[in-house]
A and B are shown apart, each in its own frame.
Chain A
């Protein structure tokens, strides 16, 4: 089953990459913001897929990393005049520290509690940024990001950024591909399927989950910084659950547990989002009778319907569909949907920590 797949997959991937490399001269400089945005979100989706699709962790707080990356680079470069590369190093360290600290706490819990603790961390960061802690974040107004090097945001910035984002996406994909095919990556999938059993085989799920969480969080933080440079500003919106939910949708639509599926999901969701928003503002839609205008003019409504249809017809996402069409492709698992077969083992050896107010460090100023 693994003989045909690489050639087919690598071939398709290479063709798409060549196409993307040739895209800027073809479509022109002004059309590059959507694909650039897609590349960056595709990396976010990849990092979310490592958690959700591969390790079976449902985080509601992935926005924490997106926001921390953006705010770190903004505070470092705009606030303190740090140069680009040192600032990026600060972002890297921030990502490692934030993901390790939050991971150690959140991974003491399981399932919906884990989701709630991660959400609480992101909310705490949102509150911190909102309250302009230490006069660094400028509260609700957010920060502009300036001081980026010319090669990134020079006069032809759109093209430059396009290629930088594409390179970052390709590198992230290749790196995560190596990880998910490693011994550790295989244990992630075992934990997703049956955490208790992986423990009984001799693996320590906590350590493996923390590895996944730190890798995912650190990469998301780095790309969060890049996204802030691309947009040119950061705001507290970056920390909201909306961001996380969007990543979750991308991964589900693309096919959880499939790296290329996550990237495709990101492309689909961002493109659809842009298209539906354009549609809502288009002249002919505004001139439609009220009831039509109020439906077609609501991007979220249409998106919701499309999303429901996709999930109904392709419950395992695009990757699952391809898998059914080409049975040679790598199988797509269904996180959290595995059959439950337990012994007297349902009780967990690692205690489930109840979420209480004291476990979430919400600091108010």
Chain B
């Protein structure tokens, strides 16, 4: 286990023996073409792991396999000590694995507030309630509202999500993840499409989620400054394979990584 340099480390030490997420030999492909190729990694509670790699490296697909969108052809995913490889995406979400999407993946005519409210409601025991109005469950509304305020959408909660700008859709994605109050957040390029002046606030928010709320975060991100700023460790994917997973400074010095990624791609 690498030593952690940031403030959340006391939480990590407490539970250092049981990683929150342990991935072994995870394998998945589209028609024989392996896009996730025997990937193994272990993420500690409270840790911040970034995943980098060129376009098409299989980062989004890796998230899709971990969250249950795709069933892996091999390997196991162990979450909080339990093998979750066989359970469906909805069960994984309710177990505390939340993700945001690289391309906003929303309910176009539903209101902005409703998006975050649905994310909160999914975690509650009243998600099968049929007889009382949804407004009777204030806690979901309150949690949705505060999540939207955190990402800076507090003033436009009533409009349809389809009418939001691209950047605001990305913020809404993040708000939905926050409203779900998960154990572990999988963020797929959270700052892409967000206007330059909004990026610092978003980075600060992601840092806060991790440090104040003690959440575990895995983040796919292209902006190297953001990655270096936030990460405890960085994982490098290339052609579906995990090239390296290490401390940021080690990754920057790693020659294989430089050859495969840092050298060829403008970051």
Contact = CB atoms under 8 A, between A and B. Distances in A.
Interface stretch (A108-116, A190-198, A226-234, A304-312): A190-198
A361 interface: no
A28 interface: no
Contact of A182 (B61, B101, B110, B134): B134
Interface in B57-88: 60-61, 64, 67-71, 88
Interface in A176-200: 178-179, 181-187, 189-190, 193-194, 196-200
Given A200-B89, A202-B180, A345 B64 contact: yes
A358 to B, nearest CB: 26
B93 A201 contact: yes
B162 A339 contact: yes
A343 interface: yes
A334 B105 CA distance: 17
A203 interface: yes
A275 B74 CA distance: 65
Contacts of A201: 90, 93, 118-119, 122, 176, 180
A206 to B, nearest CB: 10
A334 B109 contact: yes
A194 B109 contact: no
Q: Which of B107, B114, B131 has the most CB of A within 10 A?
A: B107
A199 B98 CA distance: 11
B207 interface: no
B231 interface: no
Contacts of A341: 103-106, 108
B134 A343 contact: no
B171 interface: no
Interface string A196-217: 1111111110010001000000
Question: Counting chain A CB atoms within 10 Å of each CB, which of B91, B110, B126, B131 scores highest?
Answer: B110
A301 B60 CA distance: 53
Given A181-B134, A186-B114, A194 B103 contact: no
B126 A344 contact: no
Given A197-B106, A198-B118, A331-B109, A178 B90 contact: no
Interface string A161-174: 00000000000000
A333 interface: yes
Interface string B227-252: 00000000000000000000000000
Nearest to B58: A344
Given A198-B118, A345-B101, A345-B105, A193 B90 contact: no
A178 B133 CA distance: 7
Contacts of A339: 108, 162
Contact of B126 (A181, A183, A204): A183
Contacts of A343: 60, 64, 101-103, 105, 188
B88 A202 contact: no
Nearest to B135: A181
B123 interface: yes
Q: Interface on chain A toward B: helix, strand, loop, or mixed SS?
A: helix
B195 to A, nearest CB: 19
Contacts of A200: 67, 69, 89-90, 93, 99, 105
Contact of A203 (B90, B104, B176): B90
Interface in B24-76: 60-61, 64, 67-71
Interface string B140-166: 000000000000000000101010000
Contact of B103 (A183, A187, A202, A342): A342
A347 interface: yes
A207 B70 CA distance: 20
A183 B106 contact: no
B124 to A, nearest CB: 8
A22 interface: no
Interface in A25-79: none
Given A197-B106, A201-B176, A341-B106, A184 B130 contact: yes
A14 interface: no
A349 B91 CA distance: 13
B137 interface: yes
Contacts of A178: 130-131, 133
Contacts of A186: 114, 117-118, 121, 134
Given A199-B90, A341-B105, 10 more contacts: A183-B126, A186-B134, A190-B118, A194-B105, A201-B119, A202-B123, A211-B130, A334-B109, A343-B103, A345-B101
Interface of A: 1, 178-179, 181-187, 189-190, 193-194, 196-204, 207, 211, 331, 333-334, 338-339, 341-345, 347, 349
Interface of B: 60-61, 64, 67-71, 88-91, 93-94, 99, 101-110, 114, 117-119, 121-123, 126-135, 137, 158, 160, 162, 176, 180, 188
